[in-house]
Chain A
Amino acid sequence: MASLDDLKKRIASVKSTQKITKAMKMVAAAKLKRAQDSAEKGRPYSEKMNNIILNLSEGISDKENAPKLLSGTGKDQIHLCVVMTSDRGLCGGFNSNIIKKAKSYFSRLSSEGKELKIITVGSKGNDQLKRLFGNQIIENISFKNSKNANFFDAEKVSKIIIERFEKEEFDICTIFFNQFKNVITQIPQAQQIIPLKTDIDDKEKSEDNYEFEPDEDEILTNLLPKNISTQIFKAMLENSASEQGARMSAMDNATRNAGEMVDKLTIEYNRSRQAAITKELIEIISGAESL
């Protein structure tokens, strides 16, 4: 059994850990508020963008010659996966959930005999993937220096993707990120961005005919790269909100666990203190009796 001094030291150290996790929780809560706000504010843009693209792809006259970003290369041999994770740890299952989702997708691809290329965004994802998929990772992008998700960073990522697409390095591009549902629930998502999937609900189908200036094809050619930036930006916003949410609940749990541990250790400390006193008393009494 540990001595009284050791127990005292352990209690003190657990208490100071608890202070740290509590502080981290509060920081995450404050950041979460901001990240959530910007995720919500960013939604109208990406929704509108989506609507316009849907309307455009409806109206496009010549489906055969549609831009490749919309229709794809016609093959599905080489897959590019963009795995978006955070740059910092201590956020519970946030990163490993994305990685898990991505890994199961990867193994499905390889069982189908497809070729795989990976771009990681955020250093944590790179750390976890480089052991198993080191050869497939073609690029690692990290925005450690940017405080918040911003559109400029998203444009950088999409530029890299589009450049590689134009060099015909891949046929299909999928992004992996966590969708923010609420503080405790983040859902890992796989979203295909090239070629664009256009699932059109019949009820949302607009009947009116648009006038296009210049023509549909030219607008689409300009719009599709922008849409990719928008989708990536949306993923980044969702991701940063999810990261803070995950960190907050992880730190909340850690604080609670530390509290429980302090209670347990305090009981143990008191018990052994009492045992020591009892032992001393017995020694004194039996010493006195023997006189």
Chain B
Amino acid sequence: MSEEFKLEVVNPEKSFLSKEDVTEVVVPAFEGEMGILKDHISIISFLKPGIIKTYSKLGEEKYYVEDGIIEFKNNNLSILTSSIFDINDIEKSKIDEMLRVAEEETAKDNISDQAKFLIDQKIEVLRTIN
């Protein structure tokens, strides 16, 4: 029996990625990283800034996301996100720019603890891929 399932990543503008043959996807879910294999229980969760890793026959691929929702049902994994980048394609200057904006944001004192937490998370992730 094959261990593959279907992955679909959509953002508001288009369908970002669609794959039929992933064997494992690791997503940065809100309560920590979560690996999803075939026949996982149906689940809905949302994402915090982090790296999505997909594994298939072709090897590992990594994507950076800022937010999003995932839904897994009947061996279909849907990821809805408004900001996603392929780590291999993203330019360094763009990462720097995002990092700069995020650092400015976290320096403000009128943001809520939760927002600050998310931004700090974002900065950390951006630094690791930089």
Write the residues of chain A forming the contact surface with B, with a CB cutoff of 8 angstroms.
38, 41-42, 44-46, 48-49, 51-52, 55-56, 150-151, 154-155, 206, 208-214, 219, 222-223, 226, 229-230, 233
A51-B71, A210-B73 are known contacts; what are 10 more A-B pairs with Cβ within 8 Å? A48-B10, A49-B80, A52-B69, A151-B12, A151-B13, A151-B82, A206-B73, A212-B44, A214-B30, A222-B46
| Interface membership of chain B positions 33-76, coded 1 if the CB is closer than 8 angstroms to chain A and 0 otherwise | 01000000111111000000000000000000000010101000
Question: Do A44 and B43 have beta carbons less than 8 Å apart?
Answer: no
In the bound complex, CA of A213 to CA of B44 (Å): 7
Q: Using Cβ atoms and an 8 Å threshold, which residues of chain B touch A229?
A: 12
Of the A-B pairs whose beta carbons lie under 8 Å apart in the complex, a sample of 18, sorted by A's number, is A41-B14, A44-B8, A44-B10, A45-B12, A48-B80, A52-B44, A151-B12, A151-B82, A210-B42, A210-B43, A211-B42, A213-B44, A214-B30, A214-B31, A219-B44, A226-B82, A230-B12, A233-B12
Of B13, B30, B71, most buried by chain A (CB within 10 Å of CB) is: B13
Number of A-B contacts (CB under 8 A): 74
Q: Using Cβ atoms and an 8 Å threshold, which residues of chain A touch B31?
A: 213-214
Question: Do A48 and B15 have beta carbons less than 8 Å apart?
Answer: no
In the bound complex, CA of A261 to CA of B65 (Å): 58
Q: Using Cβ atoms and an 8 Å threshold, which residues of chain B touch A212?
A: 43-45
Q: Which of A45, A155, A209, A213 has a CB less than 8 Å from the CB of B10?
A: A45
Interface of B is mostly: strand
Ranked 3 nearest A-B pairs via Cβ: A41-B14, A213-B45, A151-B12
With both chains docked as a complex, state the minimum distance between the C-beta of B120 and any C-beta of chain A, in angstroms. Answer: 18
Q: Using Cβ atoms and an 8 Å threshold, which residues of chain A touch B41?
A: 211
By size class, the interface of chain B is 20 to 34
In the bound complex, CA of A52 to CA of B69 (Å): 9
Q: Using Cβ atoms and an 8 Å threshold, which residues of chain A touch B12?
A: 42, 45-46, 151, 154, 229-230, 233
In the bound complex, CA of A230 to CA of B12 (Å): 7
In the bound complex, CA of A214 to CA of B47 (Å): 11
In the bound complex, CA of A48 to CA of B81 (Å): 11
Q: A210-B44, A212-B43 are in contact. Are A52 and B13 (CB under 8 A)?
A: no
With both chains docked as a complex, state the minimum distance between the C-beta of A225 and any C-beta of chain B, in angstroms. Answer: 11
With both chains docked as a complex, state the minimum distance between the C-beta of B35 and any C-beta of chain A, in angstroms. Answer: 13
State whether the Cβ of B78 lies closer than 8 Å to any Cβ in chain A.
yes
State whether the Cβ of B130 lies closer than 8 Å to any Cβ in chain A.
no
Question: Do B42 and A209 have beta carbons less than 8 Å apart?
Answer: yes
Interface of A is mostly: helix
State whether the Cβ of B29 lies closer than 8 Å to any Cβ in chain A.
yes
Q: Using Cβ atoms and an 8 Å threshold, which residues of chain A touch B82?
A: 151, 155, 226
In the bound complex, CA of A226 to CA of B69 (Å): 10
Q: Using Cβ atoms and an 8 Å threshold, which residues of chain A touch B30?
A: 213-214
With both chains docked as a complex, state the minimum distance between the C-beta of A26 and any C-beta of chain B, in angstroms. Answer: 25
In the bound complex, CA of A136 to CA of B88 (Å): 51
Question: Do B73 and A211 have beta carbons less than 8 Å apart?
Answer: no
| Interface membership of chain B positions 19-36, coded 1 if the CB is closer than 8 angstroms to chain A and 0 otherwise | 000000000011100100
Q: Using Cβ atoms and an 8 Å threshold, which residues of chain B touch A206?
A: 73
Q: A151-B82, A213-B43, A230-B12 are in contact. Are A48 and B71 (CB under 8 A)?
A: yes
Q: A41-B14, A42-B13, A151-B13 are in contact. Are A211 and B71 (CB under 8 A)?
A: no
In the bound complex, CA of A219 to CA of B48 (Å): 12
Q: Using Cβ atoms and an 8 Å threshold, which residues of chain A touch B80?
A: 45, 48-49, 52
Question: Do A38 and B46 have beta carbons less than 8 Å apart?
Answer: no
Q: Find the A residue at minimum CB distance from B45.
A: A213
With both chains docked as a complex, state the minimum distance between the C-beta of A37 and any C-beta of chain B, in angstroms. Answer: 9
Q: Using Cβ atoms and an 8 Å threshold, which residues of chain B touch A56?
A: 44
Q: Which of A45, A154, A219 has a CB less than 8 Å from the CB of B11?
A: A45
In the bound complex, CA of A128 to CA of B92 (Å): 47
In the bound complex, CA of A273 to CA of B10 (Å): 67
In the bound complex, CA of A125 to CA of B76 (Å): 42
Question: Do B15 and A41 have beta carbons less than 8 Å apart?
Answer: yes
Q: A151-B82, A208-B73, A213-B29 are in contact. Are A38 and B44 (CB under 8 A)?
A: no
